[in-house]
Amino acid sequence: MDFEFSEELKMLREMAYKFAVAEFTPVSRECDEHEKYTPEIRRKAAANGLVGAWVPEAYGGAGAGILGNAIITEELSRVDMGIGLNVVAATFGCEAIYQYGTEEQKRTYLPPVCAGEKVSAGAFTEPNAGTDVAGYKTRAVKDGDYYVINGNKMFITNGTVCDFMVAQCITNPEEKRHSSFSLIIVPADAPGVTRNKIRGKMGIRASDTAEIAFEDVRVPRENLVGKEGRGFIQLMHFFDTTRVMVAGQGIGLSVACLETCIKYCKERTAFGAPLGSFQLTQKKLTEMAIMIEALRGLVYKSAWLIDQGRPDYTLAAMAKFFSGQTAVFCANAAVELHGGYGYIDEYAVQKWYRDAKILELYEGTKEAEILTIGRTLMAK
């Protein structure tokens, strides 16, 4: 086994982090306070090959694969997870188009997103159905050469800033529950689409999140992604891939917590000695470091296997689960090590604490990941 990154991936890591420091740092506080999306940073990132880096060069991407994308996600999240999400999730939904779409769909939708000209979204979660994917109610009824879509979506990343979205809809209600869904590309400006920004989020406040309503939205039947009735299976495979990106966020945020705490514990004194000289302090730092290193192994291996054409969806679920556990632990430890200073907005650790929790919620809750892993173990 060779755990050494190629020179290309090393350069990609360095470039991504330098870009984030230069572009994110000056606006991070403002974006968090005012829930400000960052289209100009997304476009600059695209010019540097950081948007849709996983997409093959033939479709406008950098061809860095899922591992390269995970590394980019890690480094951007190390500076600001919300702004970083605006970059790496600009292609959210495009994974399904690449995996199951026609050649024409790939060439139509992927290149402009990778170039920073457009943004995509995945319109999946609904007001009364999150983890229960099979409980989605949005309907797409055939009408000649069109689908007519009615329904509501909730907590949609890029919801008010996207140019198109890949929506999960019921197209075959007469079929069994898991065979009734299809994925359909919906233009964001189609008549009947209403989008409202959700404000007041606890964390990742720079990222755009919205509620979307479809009222008699007509889209051509050629916008169907893959085969009709296969949407549930397609969406499960979609999440198994994108969970690796989300898990990469957890590495970056956790690393930021650890690096900041080490610096602070060297400078801060208590009882006449540096805070870092005490064994209880070292214990927390050590536990953070161990969890980060273990998480890296899960994420990198999961990503590498996908790039090798041998995805391990249980391993991806483990990476996603442990990412949330690690980020929440490290952010909590960072606040505690900073004491009272960790509780005020002068220090970034309070923001990281707020950002971390989403990693246990979106792209599959920690409970959903446990069920996925548990079923696999019991099936052996």
| Contact present, 294 and 56 (Cβ < 8 Å) | no
**Alpha-carbon span 88 to 288, nearest angstrom:** 25
Beta bridge partners of 140: 149
Among the listed residues 23, 211, 363, 369, the single catalytic one is 363
4 is catalytic: no
Q: What are the b/e assignments for 109-130, b being 16+ CB within 10 Å?
A: bbbbbbebebbbbbbbbbeebb
Can you spell out the DSSP letters for 52-78? TTTS-GGGTS---HHHHHHHHHHHHHT
**Alpha-carbon span 314 to 292, nearest angstrom:** 19
Q: Where are the alpha helices (DSSP H) in 308-348?
A: 313-338
**Alpha-carbon span 278 to 275, nearest angstrom:** 6
**Alpha-carbon span 309 to 250, nearest angstrom:** 24
Query: Treating both helix axes as pointing N-terminal to C-terminal, what angle do 231-267 and 349-356 enclose, rounded to 10 degrees?
Result: 160
The single-letter DSSP state of residue 188 is T
Q: Hey, which bits of the chain come out as E strands? A: 120-123, 139-143, 146-157, 164-170, 181-187, 193-197, 209-220, 224-225, 269-270, 273-274
Can you spell out the DSSP letters for 64-130? -HHHHHHHHHHHHHTT-HHHHHHHHTTTTTHHHHHHHS-HHHHHHHHHHHHTTS--EEEE--BTTBS
Name the token pair of 198: 């959700």
Which positions are catalytic?
Answer: 363
